[in-house]
Amino acid sequence: MSRANLLIELGTEELPPKALRALRDAFADGMRRELAAAQITFGHVAAYAAPRRLAVQIDDALTRQPDQIEEKAGPALAAAFDADGQPTPAALGFARSCGVAVDALERHDEGKRSRLIYRATRPGQSLRDLLPQLVERALDTLPTPKRMRWGAGRHEFVRPIHWLVMLLDSDVVEGSVLGVPAGRQSRGHRFLAPDPVVLDQPADYLERLMAAHVVADFDARRARIAEGVAAAAAALGGEAVLDDDLLDEVTALTEWPVPLAGRFEAHFLEVPAEALMSSMRGHQKYFPVRDAQGGLLNHFITVANLESRDPVQVIAGNERVIRPRLADAAFFFEQDRKQPLAARREALRTVTYQAELGSLFDKTERLAALSRWLAERIGGDVALAQRAGMLSKCDLMSEMVGEFDELQGIMGAHYARLDGEADEVASALREQYLPAFAGDVLPTTLTGCALGLADRLDTLVGIFGMGQIPTGSRDPYGLRRAAIGLLRILIERGLDMDLREMLGQARAGYGALKVEPVEPVFAYVIERLRAIYEDQGITSEVFMAVMARAPSVPVDIDRRVHAVNHFRHLPEAMALAAANKRVANILAKSETAPGASAVDPALFKEAAEADLFAALTDLQAVVAPLVAQADYQGTLAALATLRAPVDAFFDTVLVNAEDPALRANRFALLARLHALFWEVADISLLCPAK
């Protein structure tokens, strides 16, 4: 069968910039899915997107479906023919529905299941005929924001569609999509190249559009912007702050990006840098510039969507626009400084945290008490932790955070320092929100750790207590993120805290709740921990081996999990895991449940018994200090030496001896073996289930 290269381009009004990358990927995925469903095989798929277009280029596509075999089952033979062998109305009706005479039907003879069958070979459709409906179906599944209609038509899309290109090699695919007929004419830059761009074949696409001042490849355009912005900042003696989200958005706003450097008055630098940067990025889509020491320079980089004949005027226009924005930030800062941060705490009484859990003031009361309790147990300063809890949400009532909500915590830290609060309290106000996302940094101060833990514990307990348990698709209070942040602080900061105890203390800060939350929250957080390990490639068997001991200290769980995971890869691991499983089964059937110390060497009858006892006795002295130091990897490495004496024991010793004393002694020996491994985990669970 023949193959051809395919190009589809949908030309629109400017698409939503924050959704452009997702729309590009979804369109390509949709075309892959629709072609595969139509049995059209294909090669490489390239996806492109710019403000006014979505496109896919598909190489080596099959130009016709394979022939389709159609088969329909009809009535049973007994019901299809009468006693004289003449077709009944059932047979005649079935033949008529298939468009053939009864004689054209096949008889499928399988005893009682014998029936009439219609079989036909239907020629496969050409890609040329199929393509319009495949494209339309792919577009229908795009994750678009609110759709709209345009003109007098009834078709809907996220933006009005102005042109459509559909090429199979050098031929235009006749047809229309969403009411727009296909052709070979694309369009270039709205101002720099307004004439139609004629495409002869798919391979021309990127080059022809580049000549028309459109960089159609989103990733190439993004790299071009990043490189140009960095170069413009370097020319100023600084370094551009290349925020990924902003870079994506600017890429989605420009077809022909041209970075330009501007400046603003130096007196604005008296405002905290984060506020200026939020204003530049959020309102104007400008890239801030820092000096070598990380301080903000009074410069910015804007990205124009054209090459101007007078770039000086373009820069001047952007400088005029940024001044009132920065002036607003300066005004908010000045207004906020008219009263200390602590004075805003009373206003928190007017803000509902959650309808059934009180106000933000109530939350800060709970956070102050819980932060104090936590600080005492992790070696922090209890007075500073309590103060940080009291001030933790005050900046939410500031003018600056009201305008730029992403500055919560950041402005609180600035205002606290300016008010003369302790530096660690100020740092904690910012650090309470860390980590904010996967891979984010952690709090650096113990006060920040205490407040960050308290905030997450209070949220989890309170929301679960109101019966608002998150689901896989719905988590409006960000409880999954809170649980992961809680775990990361405890584990990565090495805080030896009992999770169940912490949850119980958080619960004590509330009155009556609809649901007792401690155990459900504990299970939820532990499940998040299991998912974290799965992402790291650690199997569920390893996790369950540790959790068999019912531990509740996350940092200790983490040490055990990594130790067991390391042990699992040792050559002795599976043999010892199988032996432990055998031991567990034997001990489960023991009527006396002997203690690990009740071993009488005088009752040994086999050399293997004495050898195993000696090995266990020696290892107990080795293992005890390792366990005390939480060196679980060292513990399991030492216990791995037991493989030979354990194998010899099971090869030569009959555990269920007829003599009751002998049997009990052997059970006790195995209980001592099991107890040594149990110091770390139940390694019998490493054995695959049968």
CB-based burial label for 341 (10 Å; 0-12, 13-18, 19+): buried
Whether residues 350 and 476 fall in one domain: yes
The residue assigned the tokens 């103060």 is 387
pLDDT in tens, 624-651: 999 999 999 999 999 999 999 999 999 9
Residue 83 DSSP class: T
Question: Is there a contact between 397 and 348 (Cβ–Cβ < 8 Å)?
Answer: yes
Which of 190, 211, 232 is a domain's end point? 211
Q: Is residue 98 one of the residues assigned to a domain?
A: yes
Q: Is residue 90 one of the residues assigned to a domain?
A: yes
Question: Is there a contact between 574 and 686 (Cβ–Cβ < 8 Å)?
Answer: yes
Residue 580 DSSP class: H
Which of 283, 309, 336 is a domain's end point? 336
Task: Enter the tokens of residue 211.
Answer: 């000549």
Nearest to 222 by CA among 409, 461, 9, 21: 21
pLDDT in tens, 168-201: 999 999 999 999 999 999 999 999 999 999 999 9
Tell me the CATH number at 484.
1.10.3210
What domain count does the chain have?
A: 5
Task: Enter the tokens of residue 663.
Answer: 């049997």
What are the backbone dihedrals phi and psi of residue 448, each rounded to the nearest 5 degrees, phi first? -65, -40
3 state SS of 116: strand
The reported pLDDT for the residue numbered 155 is 84
Which of 287, 309, 336 is a domain's end point? 336
Whether residues 407 and 365 fall in one domain: yes
The reported pLDDT for the residue numbered 474 is 83
Whether residues 329 and 358 fall in one domain: no
Residue 282 DSSP class: I
The DSSP secondary structure of 461-499, one letter per residue, reads HHHHHTT----SS--TT-HHHHHHHHHHHHHHTT----H
What is the residue range of 258's domain?
218-336
Torsion of CA 226, 231, 237, 241, to 10 degrees: 0
The neighbouring-strand residues paired with 63 are none
3-state secondary structure 396-409: HHCHHHHHCHHHCC
Distance of CA 71 to the CA centre of its chain: 45
Nearest to 507 by CA among 550, 453, 451, 459: 459
CB-based burial label for 108 (10 Å; 0-12, 13-18, 19+): middle
- β-pairing verdict for 3-12 and 161-168: antiparallel
CA distances from 14 to 18, 160, 162, 193 (A): 12, 9, 11, 16
The reported pLDDT for the residue numbered 595 is 52
Task: Enter the tokens of residue 43.
Answer: 């090669």
The DSSP secondary structure of 368-417, one letter per residue, reads HHHHHHHHHHHT--HHHHHHHHHHTTGGGGSHHHHH-GGGTTHHHHHHHH
Q: Is residue 550 one of the residues assigned to a domain?
A: no
Whether residues 470 and 519 fall in one domain: yes
Task: Quote the CA–CA distance of 35 and 31 in Å, as a whole number.
Answer: 6
Tell me the CATH number at 44.
3.30.70.260
Q: Is residue 551 one of the residues assigned to a domain?
A: no
Q: Is residue 544 one of the residues assigned to a domain?
A: no
Task: Quote the CA–CA distance of 326 and 557 in Å, as a whole number.
Answer: 49
Nearest to 415 by CA among 341, 493, 351, 478: 341
Task: Enter the tokens of residue 95.
Answer: 């033949």
Tell me the CATH number at 651.
1.10.730
3 state SS of 217: coil
CA distances from 412 to 338, 429, 434 (A): 14, 6, 14
Whether residues 132 and 147 fall in one domain: yes
Regions of the chain where pLDDT drops below 50 = 596
Task: Quote the CA–CA distance of 633 and 648 in Å, as a whole number.
Answer: 25
The reported pLDDT for the residue numbered 84 is 85
Whether residues 193 and 148 fall in one domain: yes
Distance of CA 642 to the CA centre of its chain: 42
What are the backbone dihedrals phi and psi of residue 126, each rounded to the nearest 5 degrees, phi first? -80, 150
Whether residues 503 and 417 fall in one domain: yes
**Which alpha helices (DSSP H) does 50-202 contain, by range?**
77-80, 89-98, 127-140
- 356 Cβ contact list (under 8 Å, min separation 6): 466, 514
Task: Quote the CA–CA distance of 601 and 621 in Å, as a whole number.
Answer: 18
Task: Enter the tokens of residue 267.
Answer: 């007196």
- 593 Cβ contact list (under 8 Å, min separation 6): 587
Q: Is residue 446 one of the residues assigned to a domain?
A: yes
Question: Is there a contact between 350 and 362 (Cβ–Cβ < 8 Å)?
Answer: no
Whether residues 99 and 194 fall in one domain: no
Q: Which parts of 25-101 are beta strand (E)?
A: 45-50, 53-62, 68-76
Whether residues 25 and 83 fall in one domain: no
- Model pTM greater than 0.85? no
Q: Is residue 185 one of the residues assigned to a domain?
A: yes
Question: Is there a contact between 298 and 235 (Cβ–Cβ < 8 Å)?
Answer: no
The reported pLDDT for the residue numbered 112 is 63
pLDDT in tens, 644-689: 999 999 999 998 888 988 988 999 999 999 999 999 999 999 987 6
Whether residues 262 and 300 fall in one domain: yes
Question: Is there a contact between 63 and 10 (Cβ–Cβ < 8 Å)?
Answer: no
Exposure on the CB side of residue 516, measured as CA atoms within 13 A: 3
Question: Is there a contact between 678 and 549 (Cβ–Cβ < 8 Å)?
Answer: yes
Whether residues 34 and 80 fall in one domain: no
Share the mean pLDDT of the chain.
Answer: 93
Q: Is residue 543 one of the residues assigned to a domain?
A: no
**Which alpha helices (DSSP H) does 420-550 contain, by range?**
423-431, 446-465, 479-492, 499-508, 518-535, 540-547
3-state secondary structure 664-679: HHHHHHHHHHHHHHHC
Whether residues 81 and 60 fall in one domain: no
Sheet containing strand 115-122, edge to edge, reads: 68-76, 115-122, 106-108
- β-pairing verdict for 258-263 and 287-290: unpaired
